[in-house]
Structure 1
Amino acid sequence: MFKKVIIAEDLDAMNLGIQQVLKDLNIVDFQHSKFCDEAFLKIRAAINQKEPYDLLISDLSFKTDHRKSDIKNGDELVQKVRTLQPDIKIIAYSIEDKNFRIKSLFENAKIDGFVSKGLHSIEELKKAIHIISTSDQKYISPEVASALQDKNNYEIDDVDVQILKHLSVGTSQDEIIEIFKNSDIKPNSKSAIEKRLSKLKDFFKANNTVHLVSITKDMGII
Protein backbone atom coordinates (compact mmCIF):
# COMPACT_ATOMS: atom_id res chain seq x y z
CA MET A 1 0.00 0.00 0.00
CA PHE A 2 1.11 3.58 -0.62
CA LYS A 3 2.87 5.34 2.23
CA LYS A 4 2.98 8.96 1.07
CA VAL A 5 0.27 10.65 -1.01
CA ILE A 6 -0.41 14.13 -2.35
CA ILE A 7 -3.86 15.38 -3.35
CA ALA A 8 -4.40 18.18 -5.89
CA GLU A 9 -8.02 19.30 -5.47
CA ASP A 10 -9.47 22.77 -5.09
CA LEU A 11 -12.87 21.85 -3.64
CA ASP A 12 -12.86 21.34 0.13
CA ALA A 13 -15.68 18.77 0.15
CA MET A 14 -13.93 16.59 -2.43
CA ASN A 15 -10.61 16.99 -0.67
CA LEU A 16 -12.07 15.84 2.64
CA GLY A 17 -13.64 12.85 0.92
CA ILE A 18 -10.31 11.79 -0.56
CA GLN A 19 -8.58 12.23 2.80
CA GLN A 20 -11.17 9.96 4.43
CA VAL A 21 -10.52 7.31 1.77
CA LEU A 22 -6.80 7.44 2.58
CA LYS A 23 -7.48 7.15 6.31
CA ASP A 24 -9.78 4.17 5.69
CA LEU A 25 -6.88 2.53 3.87
CA ASN A 26 -4.52 3.33 6.78
CA ILE A 27 -2.56 5.87 4.74
CA VAL A 28 -1.73 8.62 7.21
CA ASP A 29 1.09 10.50 5.47
CA PHE A 30 -0.65 12.77 2.97
CA GLN A 31 -0.75 16.42 1.97
CA HIS A 32 -3.10 18.40 -0.22
CA SER A 33 -2.92 21.46 -2.44
CA LYS A 34 -5.65 23.61 -3.95
CA PHE A 35 -3.35 24.83 -6.71
CA CYS A 36 -1.47 22.89 -9.38
CA ASP A 37 1.69 24.98 -9.05
CA GLU A 38 1.79 24.37 -5.30
CA ALA A 39 1.28 20.62 -5.74
CA PHE A 40 4.12 20.48 -8.25
CA LEU A 41 6.46 22.39 -5.93
CA LYS A 42 5.65 20.02 -3.06
CA ILE A 43 6.39 17.01 -5.25
CA ARG A 44 9.69 18.51 -6.36
CA ALA A 45 10.64 19.40 -2.78
CA ALA A 46 9.87 15.86 -1.61
CA ILE A 47 12.16 14.47 -4.30
CA ASN A 48 14.95 16.84 -3.26
CA GLN A 49 14.50 15.74 0.34
CA LYS A 50 14.72 12.11 -0.81
CA GLU A 51 11.24 11.47 0.57
CA PRO A 52 9.19 11.34 -2.65
CA TYR A 53 5.46 10.81 -2.83
CA ASP A 54 4.19 7.40 -3.94
CA LEU A 55 0.89 8.60 -5.34
CA LEU A 56 -0.68 11.74 -6.80
CA ILE A 57 -4.47 12.03 -6.85
CA SER A 58 -5.44 15.01 -8.99
CA ASP A 59 -8.57 16.68 -10.25
CA LEU A 60 -8.40 17.95 -13.83
CA SER A 61 -10.31 21.23 -13.57
CA PHE A 62 -9.24 24.02 -11.23
CA LYS A 63 -11.01 27.35 -10.79
CA THR A 64 -8.95 30.41 -11.61
CA ASP A 65 -8.43 33.17 -9.04
CA HIS A 66 -6.18 36.18 -8.54
CA ARG A 67 -3.04 34.05 -8.26
CA LYS A 68 -0.76 33.83 -11.28
CA SER A 69 -0.36 30.18 -12.24
CA ASP A 70 2.05 28.44 -14.60
CA ILE A 71 0.22 25.11 -14.48
CA LYS A 72 -3.38 25.77 -15.50
CA ASN A 73 -5.07 22.41 -15.00
CA GLY A 74 -4.69 18.82 -13.89
CA ASP A 75 -3.75 17.63 -17.37
CA GLU A 76 -0.68 19.86 -17.35
CA LEU A 77 0.11 18.91 -13.77
CA VAL A 78 0.18 15.16 -14.37
CA GLN A 79 2.25 15.62 -17.53
CA LYS A 80 4.86 17.68 -15.67
CA VAL A 81 4.86 15.35 -12.66
CA ARG A 82 5.29 12.29 -14.89
CA THR A 83 8.33 13.93 -16.46
CA LEU A 84 9.73 15.00 -13.09
CA GLN A 85 9.09 11.70 -11.28
CA PRO A 86 8.51 8.89 -13.81
CA ASP A 87 7.81 6.21 -11.21
CA ILE A 88 5.09 8.02 -9.25
CA LYS A 89 1.60 6.53 -9.50
CA ILE A 90 -1.10 8.93 -10.69
CA ILE A 91 -4.88 8.79 -10.39
CA ALA A 92 -7.04 11.39 -12.14
CA TYR A 93 -10.22 12.02 -10.11
CA SER A 94 -12.63 14.06 -12.20
CA ILE A 95 -16.08 14.59 -13.67
CA GLU A 96 -14.47 14.67 -17.13
CA ASP A 97 -16.30 12.53 -19.70
CA LYS A 98 -14.58 13.45 -22.96
CA ASN A 99 -13.07 10.28 -24.41
CA PHE A 100 -10.20 12.02 -26.17
CA ARG A 101 -9.05 13.81 -23.03
CA ILE A 102 -9.16 10.63 -20.93
CA LYS A 103 -7.37 8.54 -23.56
CA SER A 104 -4.74 11.26 -23.85
CA LEU A 105 -4.08 11.07 -20.10
CA PHE A 106 -3.46 7.33 -20.30
CA GLU A 107 -1.42 7.45 -23.50
CA ASN A 108 0.60 10.64 -23.02
CA ALA A 109 0.78 11.21 -19.26
CA LYS A 110 0.76 7.46 -18.51
CA ILE A 111 -1.69 7.86 -15.64
CA ASP A 112 -2.42 4.70 -13.66
CA GLY A 113 -6.09 5.28 -12.99
CA PHE A 114 -9.12 7.39 -13.80
CA VAL A 115 -11.97 7.62 -11.30
CA SER A 116 -15.16 9.47 -12.22
CA LYS A 117 -16.58 11.73 -9.54
CA GLY A 118 -20.11 10.59 -8.89
CA LEU A 119 -22.45 8.43 -6.86
CA HIS A 120 -19.99 5.57 -6.30
CA SER A 121 -16.73 7.50 -6.59
CA ILE A 122 -15.55 6.98 -2.99
CA GLU A 123 -15.69 3.18 -3.25
CA GLU A 124 -14.19 3.34 -6.75
CA LEU A 125 -11.32 5.47 -5.49
CA LYS A 126 -10.61 2.92 -2.74
CA LYS A 127 -10.64 0.14 -5.31
CA ALA A 128 -8.38 2.07 -7.66
CA ILE A 129 -5.82 2.79 -4.95
CA HIS A 130 -5.79 -0.85 -3.86
CA ILE A 131 -5.40 -2.21 -7.41
CA ILE A 132 -2.71 0.27 -8.42
CA SER A 133 -0.73 -0.21 -5.21
CA THR A 134 -0.68 -4.01 -5.43
CA SER A 135 -0.28 -4.62 -9.17
CA ASP A 136 0.73 -3.10 -12.50
CA GLN A 137 -2.91 -2.94 -13.60
CA LYS A 138 -4.59 0.29 -14.62
CA TYR A 139 -7.96 1.30 -13.18
CA ILE A 140 -10.73 3.15 -14.95
CA SER A 141 -14.30 3.76 -13.79
CA PRO A 142 -16.67 1.28 -15.48
CA GLU A 143 -18.92 3.87 -17.15
CA VAL A 144 -15.92 5.65 -18.67
CA ALA A 145 -14.30 2.36 -19.70
CA SER A 146 -17.41 1.30 -21.59
CA ALA A 147 -17.57 4.66 -23.38
CA LEU A 148 -13.93 4.39 -24.41
CA GLN A 149 -14.56 0.92 -25.83
CA ASP A 150 -17.60 2.04 -27.83
CA LYS A 151 -16.58 1.58 -31.44
CA ASN A 152 -19.17 4.13 -32.54
CA ASN A 153 -17.19 6.94 -30.91
CA TYR A 154 -15.25 9.14 -33.30
CA GLU A 155 -11.52 8.62 -32.85
CA ILE A 156 -9.46 11.81 -32.95
CA ASP A 157 -6.03 11.30 -34.50
CA ASP A 158 -2.88 13.34 -35.13
CA VAL A 159 -4.24 14.74 -38.40
CA ASP A 160 -7.29 16.13 -36.59
CA VAL A 161 -5.04 17.76 -34.01
CA GLN A 162 -2.86 19.30 -36.73
CA ILE A 163 -5.95 20.72 -38.45
CA LEU A 164 -7.14 22.22 -35.17
CA LYS A 165 -3.72 23.72 -34.43
CA HIS A 166 -3.55 25.33 -37.88
CA LEU A 167 -7.05 26.76 -37.48
CA SER A 168 -6.17 28.14 -34.04
CA VAL A 169 -3.46 30.38 -35.55
CA GLY A 170 -5.66 31.61 -38.39
CA THR A 171 -4.63 29.24 -41.19
CA SER A 172 -7.42 28.88 -43.75
CA GLN A 173 -8.71 25.50 -44.93
CA ASP A 174 -7.15 26.05 -48.38
CA GLU A 175 -3.80 26.85 -46.76
CA ILE A 176 -4.05 23.73 -44.58
CA ILE A 177 -4.64 21.63 -47.70
CA GLU A 178 -1.52 23.07 -49.34
CA ILE A 179 0.56 22.54 -46.19
CA PHE A 180 -0.59 18.92 -45.99
CA LYS A 181 0.15 18.31 -49.68
CA ASN A 182 3.63 19.83 -49.40
CA SER A 183 4.34 17.74 -46.31
CA ASP A 184 2.80 14.60 -47.84
CA ILE A 185 0.25 14.41 -45.02
CA LYS A 186 -2.86 12.48 -45.97
CA PRO A 187 -5.74 12.91 -46.38
CA ASN A 188 -5.21 16.30 -47.98
CA SER A 189 -8.19 16.82 -50.27
CA LYS A 190 -10.73 19.58 -49.70
CA SER A 191 -13.58 17.12 -49.18
CA ALA A 192 -11.57 15.06 -46.67
CA ILE A 193 -10.65 18.13 -44.60
CA GLU A 194 -14.24 19.37 -44.64
CA LYS A 195 -15.51 15.93 -43.60
CA ARG A 196 -13.09 15.82 -40.67
CA LEU A 197 -14.09 19.30 -39.54
CA SER A 198 -17.76 18.33 -39.71
CA LYS A 199 -17.14 15.25 -37.55
CA LEU A 200 -15.08 17.27 -35.08
CA LYS A 201 -17.86 19.86 -34.74
CA ASP A 202 -20.38 17.08 -34.10
CA PHE A 203 -18.08 15.32 -31.64
CA PHE A 204 -17.39 18.46 -29.59
CA LYS A 205 -20.90 19.87 -30.12
CA ALA A 206 -19.39 23.04 -31.59
CA ASN A 207 -21.59 25.60 -33.35
CA ASN A 208 -18.88 26.65 -35.80
CA THR A 209 -15.14 26.47 -36.45
CA VAL A 210 -14.31 29.29 -34.03
CA HIS A 211 -16.31 27.57 -31.30
CA LEU A 212 -14.55 24.27 -32.11
CA VAL A 213 -11.11 25.85 -31.70
CA SER A 214 -12.19 27.46 -28.42
CA ILE A 215 -13.48 24.15 -27.01
CA THR A 216 -10.37 22.17 -27.95
CA LYS A 217 -8.12 24.90 -26.53
CA ASP A 218 -10.00 24.81 -23.22
CA MET A 219 -9.63 21.03 -23.13
CA GLY A 220 -5.89 21.22 -23.69
CA ILE A 221 -6.04 19.34 -27.00
CA ILE A 222 -4.28 22.18 -28.82
Structure 2
Amino acid sequence: MFSKILVADDIDLNNIATEKAVSELNISSAEYVKYCDDALLRLKKAQIENVPFQLLITDLSFKADHRDAKITSGEQLISEVRKQFPLLKIIAFSIDDRPHKIKKLLHDYGIEGYVVKHRNTSSELKKAIETVWGGKEKYISPSVEHALQDKTTSEIDDYDIQLLTQLSLGIPQENMEAKFKELNITPNSKSTIEKRISKLKDYFHANNTIHLVAIAKDMGLV
Protein backbone atom coordinates (compact mmCIF):
# COMPACT_ATOMS: atom_id res chain seq x y z
CA MET A 1 0.00 0.00 0.00
CA PHE A 2 1.03 3.62 -0.54
CA SER A 3 3.06 4.98 2.36
CA LYS A 4 2.98 8.68 1.46
CA ILE A 5 0.16 10.58 -0.24
CA LEU A 6 -0.79 14.21 -0.83
CA VAL A 7 -4.38 15.48 -0.79
CA ALA A 8 -5.34 18.82 -2.40
CA ASP A 9 -8.82 20.03 -1.42
CA ASP A 10 -9.92 23.42 -0.12
CA ILE A 11 -13.01 22.17 1.76
CA ASP A 12 -12.28 20.64 5.16
CA LEU A 13 -15.53 18.66 5.14
CA ASN A 14 -14.42 16.80 2.01
CA ASN A 15 -11.30 15.59 3.76
CA ILE A 16 -13.34 13.62 6.28
CA ALA A 17 -13.94 10.91 3.67
CA THR A 18 -10.29 11.01 2.65
CA GLU A 19 -9.06 10.78 6.23
CA LYS A 20 -11.34 7.80 6.89
CA ALA A 21 -10.05 5.96 3.81
CA VAL A 22 -6.44 6.76 4.72
CA SER A 23 -6.95 5.49 8.26
CA GLU A 24 -8.56 2.23 7.16
CA LEU A 25 -5.76 1.58 4.66
CA ASN A 26 -3.07 2.28 7.27
CA ILE A 27 -1.31 4.81 5.06
CA SER A 28 1.49 6.06 7.29
CA SER A 29 1.85 9.58 5.88
CA ALA A 30 -0.89 11.75 4.40
CA GLU A 31 -0.47 15.49 3.95
CA TYR A 32 -3.26 17.96 3.14
CA VAL A 33 -3.13 21.30 1.30
CA LYS A 34 -5.86 23.77 0.33
CA TYR A 35 -4.14 25.44 -2.62
CA CYS A 36 -2.91 23.95 -5.89
CA ASP A 37 0.27 26.04 -5.76
CA ASP A 38 1.04 24.58 -2.33
CA ALA A 39 0.46 21.07 -3.65
CA LEU A 40 3.04 21.53 -6.40
CA LEU A 41 5.54 23.07 -3.97
CA ARG A 42 5.02 20.20 -1.52
CA LEU A 43 5.67 17.67 -4.29
CA LYS A 44 8.86 19.47 -5.33
CA LYS A 45 10.12 19.69 -1.74
CA ALA A 46 9.52 15.99 -1.15
CA GLN A 47 11.35 15.13 -4.35
CA ILE A 48 14.37 17.25 -3.38
CA GLU A 49 14.46 15.64 0.06
CA ASN A 50 14.34 12.20 -1.58
CA VAL A 51 11.09 11.24 0.16
CA PRO A 52 8.66 11.64 -2.78
CA PHE A 53 4.92 11.28 -2.64
CA GLN A 54 3.47 8.21 -4.32
CA LEU A 55 -0.09 9.39 -4.85
CA LEU A 56 -1.89 12.70 -5.38
CA ILE A 57 -5.61 12.96 -4.64
CA THR A 58 -7.02 16.25 -5.86
CA ASP A 59 -10.33 18.03 -6.19
CA LEU A 60 -10.94 19.86 -9.48
CA SER A 61 -12.66 22.99 -8.18
CA PHE A 62 -10.90 25.46 -5.90
CA LYS A 63 -12.67 28.62 -4.76
CA ALA A 64 -10.77 31.87 -5.37
CA ASP A 65 -9.96 34.02 -2.34
CA HIS A 66 -7.61 36.88 -1.40
CA ARG A 67 -4.54 34.83 -2.30
CA ASP A 68 -2.92 35.34 -5.70
CA ALA A 69 -2.75 31.85 -7.19
CA LYS A 70 -0.87 30.70 -10.28
CA ILE A 71 -2.65 27.34 -10.48
CA THR A 72 -6.36 27.81 -9.90
CA SER A 73 -7.91 24.43 -10.69
CA GLY A 74 -7.31 20.77 -10.14
CA GLU A 75 -7.07 20.19 -13.88
CA GLN A 76 -4.25 22.73 -14.13
CA LEU A 77 -2.55 21.06 -11.17
CA ILE A 78 -2.85 17.65 -12.80
CA SER A 79 -1.37 19.04 -16.02
CA GLU A 80 1.64 20.47 -14.19
CA VAL A 81 2.14 17.34 -12.12
CA ARG A 82 2.12 15.17 -15.23
CA LYS A 83 4.86 17.34 -16.75
CA GLN A 84 7.07 17.42 -13.65
CA PHE A 85 6.25 14.11 -11.98
CA PRO A 86 5.16 11.76 -14.78
CA LEU A 87 5.28 8.64 -12.61
CA LEU A 88 3.17 10.00 -9.76
CA LYS A 89 -0.21 8.28 -9.42
CA ILE A 90 -3.20 10.64 -9.52
CA ILE A 91 -6.81 10.28 -8.41
CA ALA A 92 -9.29 13.08 -9.16
CA PHE A 93 -11.94 13.42 -6.43
CA SER A 94 -14.73 15.75 -7.54
CA ILE A 95 -18.47 16.41 -7.72
CA ASP A 96 -18.07 16.99 -11.47
CA ASP A 97 -19.63 14.01 -13.24
CA ARG A 98 -19.51 15.30 -16.82
CA PRO A 99 -18.30 12.50 -19.13
CA HIS A 100 -16.30 14.87 -21.35
CA LYS A 101 -14.35 16.22 -18.39
CA ILE A 102 -13.62 12.73 -17.05
CA LYS A 103 -12.59 11.44 -20.48
CA LYS A 104 -10.19 14.35 -20.90
CA LEU A 105 -8.50 13.70 -17.56
CA LEU A 106 -8.21 9.98 -18.26
CA HIS A 107 -7.01 10.26 -21.85
CA ASP A 108 -5.06 13.53 -21.99
CA TYR A 109 -3.40 13.36 -18.59
CA GLY A 110 -3.54 9.64 -17.90
CA ILE A 111 -4.86 9.90 -14.36
CA GLU A 112 -5.23 6.57 -12.60
CA GLY A 113 -8.60 7.16 -10.93
CA TYR A 114 -11.72 9.31 -10.90
CA VAL A 115 -14.02 9.30 -7.88
CA VAL A 116 -17.28 11.26 -7.91
CA LYS A 117 -18.03 12.84 -4.54
CA HIS A 118 -21.30 11.93 -2.88
CA ARG A 119 -22.59 11.40 0.64
CA ASN A 120 -20.70 8.26 1.54
CA THR A 121 -17.60 8.32 -0.59
CA SER A 122 -14.98 7.09 1.87
CA SER A 123 -15.54 3.43 0.95
CA GLU A 124 -15.37 4.23 -2.77
CA LEU A 125 -12.24 6.34 -2.33
CA LYS A 126 -10.70 3.49 -0.36
CA LYS A 127 -11.46 1.10 -3.21
CA ALA A 128 -9.99 3.58 -5.71
CA ILE A 129 -6.75 3.84 -3.74
CA GLU A 130 -6.50 0.05 -3.50
CA THR A 131 -7.14 -0.33 -7.24
CA VAL A 132 -4.55 2.29 -8.19
CA TRP A 133 -2.05 0.71 -5.80
CA GLY A 134 -2.58 -2.63 -7.56
CA GLY A 135 -1.48 -0.94 -10.78
CA LYS A 136 -3.35 -3.23 -13.16
CA GLU A 137 -6.33 -1.02 -13.93
CA LYS A 138 -7.79 2.43 -13.49
CA TYR A 139 -10.64 3.18 -11.10
CA ILE A 140 -13.74 5.04 -12.26
CA SER A 141 -16.81 5.62 -10.10
CA PRO A 142 -19.58 3.19 -11.10
CA SER A 143 -22.01 6.12 -11.25
CA VAL A 144 -20.23 7.55 -14.32
CA GLU A 145 -18.53 4.51 -15.80
CA HIS A 146 -21.49 3.69 -18.06
CA ALA A 147 -21.56 7.27 -19.39
CA LEU A 148 -17.95 6.96 -20.51
CA GLN A 149 -18.94 4.08 -22.78
CA ASP A 150 -21.44 6.32 -24.61
CA LYS A 151 -20.10 7.01 -28.12
CA THR A 152 -22.51 9.92 -28.70
CA THR A 153 -19.86 12.56 -28.01
CA SER A 154 -16.82 10.65 -29.25
CA GLU A 155 -16.28 13.09 -32.14
CA ILE A 156 -16.54 16.21 -29.96
CA ASP A 157 -13.16 17.81 -29.20
CA ASP A 158 -11.95 20.60 -26.92
CA TYR A 159 -12.49 23.22 -29.63
CA ASP A 160 -16.15 22.23 -29.84
CA ILE A 161 -16.47 22.43 -26.06
CA GLN A 162 -15.00 25.94 -26.13
CA LEU A 163 -17.56 26.96 -28.74
CA LEU A 164 -20.45 25.45 -26.80
CA THR A 165 -19.21 27.02 -23.57
CA GLN A 166 -19.04 30.52 -25.05
CA LEU A 167 -22.46 30.12 -26.65
CA SER A 168 -23.85 29.00 -23.30
CA LEU A 169 -22.37 32.13 -21.70
CA GLY A 170 -24.36 34.27 -24.12
CA ILE A 171 -21.69 35.12 -26.69
CA PRO A 172 -23.51 35.50 -30.05
CA GLN A 173 -22.13 33.59 -33.01
CA GLU A 174 -21.31 36.85 -34.80
CA ASN A 175 -19.11 37.92 -31.85
CA MET A 176 -17.35 34.57 -31.47
CA GLU A 177 -14.40 35.49 -33.72
CA ALA A 178 -13.49 38.45 -31.50
CA LYS A 179 -14.02 36.39 -28.34
CA PHE A 180 -11.78 33.57 -29.55
CA LYS A 181 -9.06 36.06 -30.47
CA GLU A 182 -9.35 37.58 -27.00
CA LEU A 183 -8.97 34.11 -25.46
CA ASN A 184 -6.15 33.13 -27.87
CA ILE A 185 -8.18 30.20 -29.17
CA THR A 186 -7.34 29.08 -32.69
CA PRO A 187 -8.55 28.73 -35.36
CA ASN A 188 -10.64 31.83 -34.84
CA SER A 189 -11.69 32.93 -38.31
CA LYS A 190 -15.36 33.70 -38.87
CA SER A 191 -15.73 31.03 -41.56
CA THR A 192 -14.15 28.29 -39.42
CA ILE A 193 -16.40 29.13 -36.47
CA GLU A 194 -19.52 29.17 -38.67
CA LYS A 195 -18.62 25.79 -40.20
CA ARG A 196 -17.95 24.24 -36.79
CA ILE A 197 -21.20 25.49 -35.26
CA SER A 198 -23.06 24.24 -38.32
CA LYS A 199 -21.39 20.84 -37.87
CA LEU A 200 -22.43 20.75 -34.22
CA LYS A 201 -26.02 21.58 -35.11
CA ASP A 202 -26.08 18.72 -37.61
CA TYR A 203 -24.34 16.36 -35.20
CA PHE A 204 -26.86 16.97 -32.41
CA HIS A 205 -29.83 17.58 -34.72
CA ALA A 206 -30.28 21.06 -33.24
CA ASN A 207 -32.68 23.53 -34.84
CA ASN A 208 -30.66 26.60 -33.82
CA THR A 209 -27.90 27.70 -31.45
CA ILE A 210 -30.29 27.99 -28.49
CA HIS A 211 -31.42 24.42 -29.05
CA LEU A 212 -27.77 23.36 -29.48
CA VAL A 213 -26.79 24.89 -26.14
CA ALA A 214 -29.77 23.24 -24.44
CA ILE A 215 -28.73 19.83 -25.78
CA ALA A 216 -25.10 20.41 -24.72
CA LYS A 217 -26.23 21.29 -21.19
CA ASP A 218 -28.48 18.24 -20.99
CA MET A 219 -25.55 16.05 -21.98
CA GLY A 220 -23.26 17.67 -19.43
CA LEU A 221 -20.87 19.06 -22.03
CA VAL A 222 -21.06 22.58 -20.60
Output the TM-score relative to the length of structure 1. 0.78
**1:163/1:204 CA distance change after superposition, 3 Å:** closer
Amino acid at match of 2:108: N
What SS does the aligned partner of 1:44 have? Answer: helix
Identity of counterpart residues, as a percentage? Answer: 38
Instruction: Please say if 1:110 is aligned against 2:77.
Output: no
CA RMSD of aligned residues (A): 3.1
- Partner Cα separation in structure 2 for residue 150 and residue 16 of structure 1: 33
1:82-102 alpha-carbon deviations (Å, 9 max, x no partner): 111000000000100111111
Of 42-51 and 83-92, the range deviating more from structure 2: 42-51
Output the TM-score relative to the length of structure 2. 0.78
What does residue range 43-58 of structure 1 map to in structure 2 within 5 Å? 43-58=43-58
- Residue 167 of structure 1 corresponds to 176
- Partner Cα separation in structure 2 for residue 20 and residue 104 of structure 1: 29
- Residue 62 of structure 1 corresponds to 62
Amino acid at match of 2:214: D
Instruction: Please say if 1:192 is aligned against 2:199.
Output: yes
**1:3/1:73 CA distance change after superposition, 3 Å:** same
- Partner Cα separation in structure 1 for residue 216 and residue 196 of structure 2: 23
- Residue 136 of structure 1 corresponds to 136
**1:204/1:72 CA distance change after superposition, 3 Å:** farther
What SS does the aligned partner of 2:13 have? Answer: helix
- How many equivalent residue pairs? 201
Instruction: Please say if 1:205 is aligned against 2:205.
Output: no
1:129-178 alpha-carbon deviations (Å, 9 max, x no partner): 00110123100001111122234457522552575689374369x9432x
Structure 2: any 5+ residue segments left out of the alignment? 167-174, 182-187
Asked whether the equivalents of residues 154 and 203 of structure 1 are also in contact (C-alpha less than 8 Å), the reply is: no
1:115-139 alpha-carbon deviations (Å, 9 max, x no partner): 0111341111111100110123100
- Residue 10 of structure 1 corresponds to 10
Asked whether the equivalents of residues 115 and 141 of structure 1 are also in contact (C-alpha less than 8 Å), the reply is: yes
